[in-house]
Amino acid sequence: MKQPNKSILLVEDDQVDIMTILRALKEIHVCNPVVSMENGEAALEWLSRPETDLPCIILLDLNMPIMSGIEFLRQAKQHDRLRRIPVVVLTTSEEQEDKVRSFDLGVAGYMAKPVDYRRFVEMMRSIDMYWTLSEMP
C-alpha cells in the first residue's frame, strides 16, 4: 500500500482466509505490516489504544463471532479518530442487504472473496493499486 510504514488492519476470523490474504499480499510485494484481529471487538479495542498508530487501510470480513463486521463499521465510523480510515469489505456474503448496509456505513469497497487463489491475488492487487494511487486527507 502507499505508506509502507503504516500497518494494514485485517479483521478476519478464518485462519485459512488470513493465511491466503497474507500470502497474496506477499506475492504482490506489499510490505506493510499486517495486524490481524479475529473480530470487530478486538479490532476496536486495538484501534482505541492511544499508542496505536492508525492503519492505512482496514480489510474487513462481515461474518465474525462476538462482533460482526457491520457492527464494527457502525461503531468505528462514529469515532472522529477512526472514521477516515478506508475500509474494504472482503467477504463471502453475496447478500444485497450486507452490501447496502456496508456502503451506508461508509465502506470504500465491497469485494466477494474469490475461491480461486489466482483471482484472489488479482483482487488484492486491485486493492493495492487503488490505495497506492488514491490521495487521502
94 burial (CB, 10 Å; 0-12 / 13-18 / 19+) is exposed
CATH architecture classification, 8-131: 3-Layer(aba) Sandwich (3.40)
Cα separations (Å) of 11 from 39, 107, 133? 6, 14, 23
- Would you say 98 and 64 are in contact if contact means Cβ atoms under 8 Å apart? no
Average pLDDT across each block of 10 residues of the chain; the chain has 137 residues. List them in order: 80 96 95 94 95 93 93 95 94 89 94 92 92 71
Reported as a single tens digit per residue, the pLDDT across 8-35 is: 999 999 999 999 999 999 999 998 999 9
pLDDT computed for residue 92 by the predictor? 87
Bridge partner list, 21: none
pLDDT computed for residue 97 by the predictor? 93
Q: Where are the domains of the chain?
A: 8-131
Q: What is the pTM of this model?
A: 0.92
